[in-house]
Amino acid sequence: MDAITADLEIIIVIAKEFEHPFVQDANILKQAGFSGEHESICLLHEKGRLYVGSESIKSKDIRAAAAVAIRTLKGTQYESVKIANYASHPKCTAVFRAMVEGVLLGAYHFDNYKSKKSEHKLRSVTLSLQEYHGYELEPESFEQALNRAKIGANATNYTRDIVNTPPDDCYPEVMANLALDLAKKYELECTILKSKEIKKENMNALLAVARASRHKPRVIHLAYKPENPKAVISIVGKGLTYDSGGLSLKSADYMVTMKADKSGGSAVLGILKAVAQMKLPVEVHGFIGAVENMIGGDAYKPDDVLVAKNGKTIEVRNTDAEGRLVLADLLCYAQQEVTSDYLFDMATLTGACVVGVGNYTSGVMGNDPMPTKMVLDAGAGISGEMVTKLDFNHYLRKTLKSDIADISNVSNTRYGGAISAGMFLAEFIDEAHKEKWAHIDIAGPAYVEHTWGENPSGASGAGVRLMLRLLEKVSRREDHQQ
């Protein structure tokens, strides 16, 4: 580390290793009240060292600690920093990758609409392969980890930018153009359906949600197709560029931040961008229903009965339960176009999920334990995204019963809303995909109005790193060989 020249050295201190020899300033830190508590900071300007606490050596904690350290330097005059490495053993790159992600995610800020832009003097971050425990690390494997960390973090920040963009500047046509730009840059296949084509596909539930908006809907299919893929995976994203609630109008407080209702669809764009850059040996199809839910004389109404693409009839009892209507048709379309080994959908679907598991955690559910377990395994342990399982049950399925249609778009009880919404979507999964599908409700972590861990106030890019780690894991499994 001494051979690396930098304005400042960042030192991550594991609380239980506070007495470790690399903590050169232990006495000064104790006097300052710094004990290595998770995400705590102590800047010793005269020493040229910034200490940041981490609860453990695990990836999820190191990622957050690195992000907090970089965020702390905003507004300072430091232009270069250096950081040494942590590893649990010589071939383990997970913590290093998390540290790189933390640096890039922590440096993110969205100031596109500010007349005075944020100033960040920091120009370079050097991560040394010198390891605190003295391990000899293999440069080749760490170089791959560096590249994938950069791709994943940049894709997350790309997604954050889309979600943070106000609805008057990001509507269905704009999302379609973003997909076309990605397709051109990364040689992806892209199909865009406009209103007439959507009508021909009998996606009447999606069209009903869209019809009161001056911005016409788009259905986007973006595909990455490598040679001899180990698996075929479809990811479906809810792309509500704005949700007023429709005629079941949201209150003023709940209408703010509804630009974030496109988080699922935005994540699909970020995932396809990263997959193409990583050149993973997995065929990935992204489907986005880009729609705006507004009010007007042509708005769909409570009491309407809609006919979905698969022929099922839906009684509308609340027009603010619009995302599941869009996804119902979109899931049917995705299954029609591609027979996948696994099918996932991501959506800011229910406030009930936030009530149940909090702001920071996504809920995952489905008909079969395997795809659900795949999402859970890709969660906090490696991607840093917290995910918990929510179980389907037949009692909640009964609450979706309609007296005049095949199914109601909302439950007849206020409880278990995240699960009943997932069970509604299950009605639109065909037999071929029934045991291959999982639904991920990202309503909590997709957009939070305060800073947390590696995430800034606003959009987090939820779902991007989660699905990338899942796809990477699938790419290494020989049992998926076609």
Residue 444 and residue 361 in contact, taking contact as beta carbons nearer than 8 Å:
yes
**Residue 67 near residue 108, CB atoms below 8 Å:** no
* 250 annotated active-site: yes
CA 33 to mean position of chain CA atoms: 36
What dihedral do alpha carbons 400, 402, 407, 412 form, nearest 10°?
Answer: -20
Is 63 annotated as catalytic? no
**Residue among 467, 217, 240, 267 at smallest CA distance from 350:** 240
Instruction: Say how far apart CA 158 and CA 147 lie, in whole Å.
Output: 16
- Among candidate residues 324, 436, 465, 469, the one labeled active-site is 324
Query: Cα(144)–Cα(191) distance, rounded to whole angstroms?
Result: 32
Say if residue 477 is exposed, middle or buried (CB neighbours under 10 Å; 0-12, 13-18, 19+): exposed
Catalytic residue among 74, 211, 250, 389: 250
Query: Would you please indicate which residues are annotated as catalytic (active-site) residues?
Result: 250, 324
